């Protein structure tokens, strides 16, 4: 294959304890460490391994978000991606708009494979890959834990509720990846310096001429309710009595 396109999303780092703003308008991000969505990082690692095996010629990382996402794209370039594209927008967008933007970039680049994380850890929608495949009219394989390329096709081992499922898809295709696919490589300082010289193109979202999508807005954010203090019971009868008191039996 010629090109692999990998989507990267800027999210609050998974090691950071997420806090809701005092006015309930969103999640606190000021002074908070931001990183590449972990599932997207796994997708990029797989793309780089495919290229290193000589099965692809170029890896392109793409992000749809604010200008701050350049930081995550540069990290992707430091990992080994060849080019980066930022579809810039002033605020967060819904999964359908993101899927349409990624599809437009894919068509412009004539990508043979699109690798995405199975979900983003901020909203957990797990929708973008499926929507993009439907809009593109191309095969999809979600929740991949193993991928094997074979010329113009790919064999994907999927993690499903019943265990593992193996599917064969013709390329071009969309594949979303799961945690057990690989372990992303460590970025070294020399690679970070080299990444500064790699091309990073910026495209305003308005320039893509996307159709209007359903307006989905988050109206209020609330932290999860505090867990109640546990109680100790002496025996099964005490447990049953406690459950009855709470109206659970």
Q: Report the pLDDT averaged over residues 58-84.
A: 95
* Domain residue extents for the chain: 3-245
CATH 3.40.50.280 is right for the domain spanning 3-245:
no
Share of the chain above pLDDT 70, in %: 98
Average confidence score pLDDT of the chain: 91
Identify the band that residue 214 occupies on the pLDDT scale cut at 50, 70 and 90: low
Prediction pTM value: 0.85
Q: Is the dihedral of CA 32, 38, 39, 41 positive or negative?
A: positive
DSSP for 111-139, please give it: -SEEEEES--TTT----HHHHHHHHHT--
Q: How far apart are CA 153 and CA 171, in angstroms?
A: 5
Distance CA 98, CA 229 (A): 42
Nearest in space to 84 (alpha carbons), one of 71, 96, 97? 71
Find where tokens 């159709």 sit: 211
Burial class (CB in 10 A: 0-12, 13-18, 19+), 77: buried
Q: For residue range 186-202, what is the model confidence (pLDDT) as tens digits? A: 998 999 999 999 999 99
Mean pLDDT computed over 55-83: 95
């Amino acid at each position: 294959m010629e090109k692999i396109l990998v989507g990267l999303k800027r999210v609050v780092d998974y090691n950071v304890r997420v806090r809701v703003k005092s006015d309930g308008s969103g999640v606190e991000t000021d002074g908070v460490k931001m990183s590449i969505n972990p599932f997207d990082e796994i997708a990029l690692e797989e793309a780089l391994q495919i290229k290193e095996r000589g099965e692809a010629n170029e890896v392109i990382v793409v992000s749809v978000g604010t200008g701050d996402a350049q930081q995550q794209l540069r990290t992707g370039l430091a990992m080994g991606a060849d080019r980066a594209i930022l579809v810039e927008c002033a605020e967060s967008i819904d999964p359908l708009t993101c899927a349409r933007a990624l599809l437009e970039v894919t068509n412009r680049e004539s990508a043979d494979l699109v690798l995405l994380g199975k979900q983003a850890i901020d909203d957990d929608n797990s929708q973008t890959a499926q929507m993009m495949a439907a809009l593109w009219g191309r095969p999809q394989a979600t929740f991949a834990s193993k991928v094997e390329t074979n010329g113009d096709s790919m064999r994907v081992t999927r993690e499903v509720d019943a265990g593992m499922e193996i599917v064969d898809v013709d390329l071009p295709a969309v594949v979303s990846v799961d945690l057990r696919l690989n372990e992303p490589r460590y970025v070294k300082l020399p690679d970070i310096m080299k990444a500064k010289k790699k091309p990073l193109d910026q495209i305003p979202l308005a320039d893509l001429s996307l159709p209007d999508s359903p307006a989905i807005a988050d109206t209020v954010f609330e932290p999860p309710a505090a867990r109640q203090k546990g109680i100790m019971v002496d025996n099964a009868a005490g447990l049953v009595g406690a459950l009855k008191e709470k109206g659970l039996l």
